[in-house]
Amino acid sequence: MIASIFAAAAAISALINNAAPDFSLTDQSGHAFSLSDQRGHVTVLYFGYTHCPDICPTTLAAIASALRQIGPNADRDIKVAFITDDPARDTQKTLRDYVTLFDPHFVGLDGSSAALAPIYKGYHVWFTRLPNQGSAAGYLLAHSSYIYMIDKTGVVRTIDDWHTPPATIAAHLRKLYQ
């Protein structure tokens, strides 16, 4: 078990200073979103799901706080994309309602399981369904929680996790933004 954790951490770290795996998905308004179309902007990717009770809202709130620390236009200039781990429940409307709670410029992305699978593989995203009997949500997902920061040329420069304080996220983004 510990060996597999270290192997996963090494694979995620190997993304740093390499081109971010490109992908195309659909945003919460039904428009196409391609990572390669974001060139010229710093881009933040975060994978999660809208029914997450703790890690996802904490992380998205931290990213939103970091953007406010950078400056008044950071949330327009730095593209933040929340990619669903739960395409069965995360509809465009659900994603729109969820991501805009944190910042009106955040983008929620979904696609078919077939479209998402190579993206999960490319970013070493993992999750597993857990029963949550007695809950209206029906199930929870145990999942990885990394914040991928991609520079204006499409290269992954920093990967933080959900424990990273907003000030640290802001410092990492500020280096890429300026």
Q: What is the pLDDT of residue 5?
A: 53
Instruction: Note whether 174 and 74 are within 8 A (CB).
Output: no
Q: Give CA separation, 81 vs 3, 8, 28, 167, in Å.
A: 31, 22, 10, 20
Q: Taking the model in full, what pTM does it have?
A: 0.93
Place of tokens 């290269």: 155
DSSP state of 41: S
Domains and CATH numbers, the chain: 2-177 (3.40.30.10)
- pLDDT at residue 100 greater than cutoff 90: yes
What are the structure tokens assigned to 76, written together? 């327009």
- pLDDT at residue 60 greater than cutoff 80: yes
Backbone angles phi, psi at 99, to 5 degrees: -65, -30
* Region for residue 50 given its phi and psi (left: phi exceeds 0; alpha: psi -120 to 50; beta: otherwise): alpha
Q: State the chain's maximal CA–CA distance in angstroms.
A: 49
Instruction: Note whether 90 and 54 are within 8 A (CB).
Output: no
Would you place residue 12 in the very low, low, confident or very high pLDDT band (cuts 50, 70, 90)? confident
